[in-house]
């Protein structure tokens, strides 16, 4: 569903991504793990065609975002870590505003909003302006917005960054459900316990390089670690030692 081969990105003299290779299959959560500045967000932006990047192969749902960015975006649900909502619009107005970009007719959009209301328990959040919403309500709208057009692929960039414990739990459960529904989920985070709970496979991204790609259990085994966090730290140490 997502294929990345030799993804490179440079900003001036800084090589931000150095030839990334990974794939995400349908019904799979792939966790892209790394500290801040490792290149996770840049990778997601390249997949959406928001930035120009070099790659031998880059595709989402069979489409190259460099050639057909708009077609790719129609098939992707994107959630960013920031709040990313318009303060003076209500939740419902957000869904209408974003729904119109996906060519949803008025009745279909209304029906979809009602469906999302049931699925995500949007309730009050639909009618309140963002300024008057709790952080939990805001996150519900953000996530509902990403699912509005029934995307085949989910790109989640630090999705729990601004969440309280309840909203975070609800989001993780939703990702599980989407995985079971057969969607491909690329989950970018630096919160490793979340990845440990959700991911089928993981990629350790460090200074723009994928230093490990493989199943979760293999990562722990290879680095002799009890948890994914320990495995990641060990992987980074080995790279640093190698460099030294």
**Interface contacts to other proteins, rule CB under 8 A:** 11, 45, 48, 50-52, 70-71, 73-74, 76, 78, 80, 82-89, 93, 97-98, 100-102, 129, 145
Q: How far is the CB of 10 from other proteins (least distance, A)?
A: 12
- Residue whose CB is less far from other proteins, 156 or 213: 156
Q: Which residues pair with 209 in a beta bridge?
A: 206
- Residue whose CB is less far from other proteins, 83 or 225: 83
- Residue whose CB is less far from other proteins, 52 or 118: 52
Q: How far is the CB of 206 from other proteins (least distance, A)?
A: 21
Sheet with 14-24: list strands edge to edge.
14-24, 2-11, 57-60
DSSP conformation class of 129: B
Instruction: Yes or no: say if 76 and 60 are a contact pair by the CB < 8 Å rule.
Output: yes
- Residue whose CB is less far from other proteins, 4 or 231: 4
Residue 90 backbone class (left: φ over 0; alpha: ψ -120 to 50; beta: rest): beta
- Residue whose CB is less far from other proteins, 27 or 129: 129
DSSP 63-80: B-TTT-HHHHHHHEEEE-
Q: How far is the CB of 86 from other proteins (least distance, A)?
A: 6
Q: How far is the CB of 143 from other proteins (least distance, A)?
A: 12
Q: How far is the CB of 242 from other proteins (least distance, A)?
A: 31
Which residues are CB-neighbours of 117 under 8 A, at least 6 positions away?
123, 126
Instruction: Yes or no: say if 190 and 34 are a contact pair by the CB < 8 Å rule.
Output: yes
């Amino acid at each position: 569903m997502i294929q990345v081969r030799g993804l490179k990105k440079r900003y001036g003299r800084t090589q931000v991504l150095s030839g990334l290779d990974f794939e995400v299959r349908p019904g799979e959560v792939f966790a892209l793990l790394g500290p801040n500045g490792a290149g996770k967000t840049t990778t997601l932006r390249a997949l959406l065609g928001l930035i120009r990047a070099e790659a031998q192969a880059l595709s989402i749902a069979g489409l190259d975002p460099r050639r057909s960015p708009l077609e790719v975006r129609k098939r992707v649900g994107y959630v960013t870590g920031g709040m990313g909502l318009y303060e003076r619009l209500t939740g419902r107005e957000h869904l209408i505003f974003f729904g119109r970009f996906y060519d949803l007719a008025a009745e279909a959009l209304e029906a979809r909003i009602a469906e999302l209301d049931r699925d995500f328990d949007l309730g009050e959040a639909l009618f309140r302006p963002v300024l008057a919403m709790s952080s939990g309500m805001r996150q519900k709208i953000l996530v509902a917005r990403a699912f509005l057009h029934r995307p085949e692929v989910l790109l989640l960039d630090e999705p729990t960054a601004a969440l309280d414990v309840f909203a975070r739990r609800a989001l993780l459960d939703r990702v599980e459900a989407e995985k079971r529904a057969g969607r491909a989920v690329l989950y970018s985070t630096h919160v490793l316990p979340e990845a440990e709970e959700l991911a089928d496979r993981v990629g350790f991204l460090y200074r723009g390089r994928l230093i490990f790609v493989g199943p979760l259990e293999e990562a722990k085994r290879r680095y002799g670690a009890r948890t994914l966090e320990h495995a990641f730290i060990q992987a980074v140490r080995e790279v640093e030692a190698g460099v030294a």
